[in-house]
Amino acid sequence: MDSSAVRLSMVAKLAQQGIADPRVLQAMGRVERHRFVDTALVNQAYEDTSLPIGLGQTISKPGVVSRMLELLYQGHAGQLGRILEIGTGCGYQAAVLSYLCKEVYSIERLRGLHDKARENLRHFRLVNVHLLFGDGMLGYAKGAPYAGIIAAAGGDAVPQAWIDQLAVGGRLVAPVSAGATSPARQALVVIDKTSQGLRQTVMEAVHFVPLKSGVD
């Protein structure tokens, strides 16, 4: 499949939706999203929709991926350093991140998806992407501190391990549920770690799969 034309169209739509960071738009345009979905869904690969990737998980909408990446990179003039991604899924966001930062550590708790992501990413030969199988709620201390942390699953709160592994001057972007009254409702939360402490900003409503501990 020659996806160059539909990728350009997708990027144009993202810009119309308000994604303004040229680095994010360029990275979104470089990654062939159809390589990360099942053959039967290839024709929907460049629509702004989430799609099933197996094991009850989904590949996020391009609009949501680009929005979270733009938030992650806001205020940074150049390339970011080391990034931790919680929830590799099919590997799509890790591929986009690879063009935006020096190093990507991406952790996945489901063995089937970890293996699928490794297969999907083989085509791209991205030497700066490191795929890890493990409990994302624990982060990955060996790679810390991180300039940024981005999560593709939402829990009741941001795990302390992520905060601990975020560098001073770093930023974390994650969905967080609204709490016990309405656990299905989530909002994007941005946490900046400064020398004075943490600064949290609640953004728009989103819908992600639930954050879970352990491995399967």
Task: Identify whether 60 is a catalytic site residue.
Answer: yes
Angle CA(183)–CA(186)–CA(192) in degrees, nearest 5? Answer: 125
Task: Give Cα separations from 109 to 64, 80, 106 (angstroms).
Answer: 22, 25, 10
Catalytic residue among 50, 60, 98, 106: 60
Residue that has been written with the tokens 């999203």 in this structure: 33
Query: Alpha-carbon Rg of the chain, whole angstroms?
Result: 16
Paired residues of 72 in beta bridges: none
- Could you list the active site residues? 60
